Amino acid sequence: MLKFDVRNFDDARRELLAWKAHEYAQFKLPKLTYWNYDLCRQHRRGWIEIYNDVENGNPDAERLITTRPKPGCRKCGIHFREHQHISIMWMYLKKRGLLADTMGSGKTTSAGGLVAMLMETGELSLRRVKGGADGMGRVVITPRSPALHQWYDELLRMIPSLSIVIAEGTKKQRRELYAQPWHVLLIGPEMLNQDIDDIMRFDLSLFITDDIDSLRNPETDTSYSCDRLGRKADRYFIMSGTPLQKRLPEIHAVLDGVGGDRILGNRSKFERDFVRSETVTQYDERTGIEIGKQKITGYKNTGLLKRQIAPLIMRRTAADLTDVHLPAIVPDDIFLDLYPQQRAKYEELKKGVIKILREEGEQIKHTTALSKLHYGAAICGGLATLGELDGPYTSVKMDWIIDKIQDGGDLGDEKVVIFAQFKTSIRALQTRMTAAGIGFETVWGEVKDKTARRNSQERFWNDPSCRILLGTRAIEQSLNLQVARHLINMDMILNPARMEQLAGRIRRDGSAFQHVFVHNLLTVGTQEERYLPLLEREAAIAGHIWDESSELFQSLSPMDMLQLIAA
- Which residues make Cβ contacts (< 8 Å) with residue 22, sequence separation at least 6? 86, 90, 94, 310, 311, 314
CA dihedral (233, 235, 239, 245) positive or negative: positive
Judge if 310 and 395 occupy the same domain. no
Judge if 315 and 342 occupy the same domain. no
CB 421 within 8 A of CB 492: no
Q: What's the pLDDT at 460?
A: 95
Strands 275-284, 289-299: pairing kind = antiparallel
| DSSP per residue, 21-65 | HHT-S---PPPPTT---PPPTTTTT-EEEEEEETTTTEEEEEEEE
Residue 441 sits in a domain whose CATH number is 3.40.50.300
Number of Cβ atoms within 10 Å of the Cβ of 113? 25
Judge if 289 and 361 occupy the same domain. no
Whether residue 231 is contained in a domain is answered as: yes
Indicate the residue among 279, 301, 320 that finishes a domain.
Answer: 320
DSSP 440: E
**Weakly modelled stretches of the chain, pLDDT under 50:** 129-133, 549-555
Which amino acid, one-letter code, is at 52?
N
Whole-angstrom distance, CA of residue 22 vs CA of residue 8: 21
Whether residue 29 is contained in a domain is answered as: no
pTM more than 0.85: no
Whole-angstrom distance, CA of residue 365 vs CA of residue 517: 38
SS3 state at 138: strand
Report long-range pairs for 433-436 (Cβ below 8 Å, ≥24 apart).
433/402, 433/405, 433/468, 436/402, 436/406
CB 81 within 8 A of CB 324: yes
Whether residue 45 is contained in a domain is answered as: no
Whole-angstrom distance, CA of residue 533 vs CA of residue 113: 40
- Which residues make Cβ contacts (< 8 Å) with residue 222, sequence separation at least 6? 189, 190, 192, 193, 212, 214, 215
C-alpha angle 472/501/329, rounded to 5°?
110
- Which residues make Cβ contacts (< 8 Å) with residue 198, sequence separation at least 6? 174, 175, 178
Cα dist from 425 to 251, 381, 435, 537, whole Å: 34, 7, 15, 28
Residue 213 sits in a domain whose CATH number is 3.40.50.10810
Q: What's the pLDDT at 4?
A: 62
CB 456 within 8 A of CB 443: yes
Judge if 140 and 251 occupy the same domain. yes
Whole-angstrom distance, CA of residue 253 vs CA of residue 148: 24
Judge if 340 and 306 occupy the same domain. no
Indicate the residue among 273, 291, 320 that finishes a domain.
Answer: 320
Whole-angstrom distance, CA of residue 550 vs CA of residue 544: 5
Judge if 289 and 338 occupy the same domain. no
> What is the maximum alpha-carbon separation in the chain?
82
Judge if 516 and 550 occupy the same domain. yes
Whole-angstrom distance, CA of residue 433 vs CA of residue 427: 10
Judge if 251 and 338 occupy the same domain. no
Judge if 290 and 347 occupy the same domain. no
Whether residue 252 is contained in a domain is answered as: yes
Cα dist from 92 to 19, 114, 229, 309, whole Å: 12, 6, 18, 19
Q: Which domain holds residue 428?
A: 328-566
Whole-angstrom distance, CA of residue 508 vs CA of residue 235: 27
SS3 state at 190: helix
Whether residue 484 is contained in a domain is answered as: yes
SS3 state at 481: coil
Query: For every residue of 191-225, which 3-state class applies, written as one string?
Result: HHHHHHHHHCCCCEEEEEEECCHHHHCCCCHHHHH
Judge if 304 and 411 occupy the same domain. no
CB 338 within 8 A of CB 521: no
Whether residue 69 is contained in a domain is answered as: no
Whole-angstrom distance, CA of residue 524 vs CA of residue 498: 23
Our count of domains for the chain comes to 2
Judge if 166 and 239 occupy the same domain. yes
Judge if 204 and 306 occupy the same domain. yes
Indicate the residue among 278, 302, 320 that finishes a domain.
Answer: 320
Whether residue 41 is contained in a domain is answered as: no
Q: Which of 136, 140, 141 is nearest to 123 (CA)?
A: 136
Whether residue 191 is contained in a domain is answered as: yes
Whole-angstrom distance, CA of residue 374 vs CA of residue 382: 13
DSSP 166: E
| DSSP per residue, 508-526 | -TT-S-SEEEEEEEEETTS
**Dihedral pair phi/psi, residue 359, rounded to 5°:** -85, -35
CA dihedral (447, 451, 457, 461) positive or negative: negative
